[in-house]
Amino acid sequence: MVTERIFDRLPSGEEIRCFHLENRSGAYAEVLQYGALLTKLCVPDRNGTLTDVVLGYDTIEGYLTNGCFFGATIGRSGNRIEGARFTLDGQEVILEKNEGENNLHSGPDGFEKKMWKTEYISNDQNSVTFSRISPDGENGFPGEFDVSVTYEFTEENALRIVYEGVSDKTTVANMTNHSYFNLDGEGSGKILDQYLKIHAQLYTPVREDSIPLGQNTPVEGTPMDFRKEKRIGQDIEADFQQLKYTGGFDHNYVTDGYNMAEIREIACARSEKTGIALEVLTDCPCVQFYAGNFVDHEKGKNGHIYGKREGFCLETQVEPNAVNVPDFHSPVLNKGERYYSETVYRFSVKNK
In whole angstroms, give the CA distance from residue 58 to residue 5.
14
| Burial bucket for residue 262 (CB in 10 Å: 0-12, 13-18, 19+) | exposed
Contact 141, 172 (CB under 8 A): yes
Computed from CA positions of residues 228, 203, 79, 90, in that sequence, does the dihedral angle turn out positive or negative? Answer: negative
178 tagged catalytic: yes
Between CA 79 and CA 294, with CA 194 as vertex, the angle to 5 degrees is 40
DSSP 260: T
Report yes or no: 267 and 314 within 8 Å, Cβ to Cβ: yes
- Rounded distance, CA 200 to CA 282, Å? 13
Kindly give the residue spans of alpha helices, DSSP state H, lying in 192-344: 241-246
Sheet with 158-167, edge to edge strand ranges: 117-122, 127-134, 145-153, 158-167, 338-349, 276-282, 264-270, 195-198, 230-231
Of the candidates 105, 138, 152, 178, the residue annotated as catalytic is: 178
Catalytic residue among 82, 310, 315, 319: 315
Separation of CA 185 from chain center: 18
Q: Cα dist. 242→103, 194, 210, 217 in Å?
A: 20, 22, 9, 12
**How many angstroms separate the CA atoms of 124 and 348, rounded?**
22
Please, is 307 exposed, middle or buried when counting C-beta atoms within 10 Å of its C-beta (0-12, 13-18, 19+)? middle
End-to-end, the C-alpha distance of the chain in Å comes to 32
Verify whether residue 105 is a known catalytic residue: no
The one-letter amino acid code at 247 reads: G
| Nearest CA among 70, 78, 80 for reference residue 100 | 80
Whole-angstrom Cα distance, residue 127 to residue 29?
10
| Residues catalogued as catalytic | 178, 315
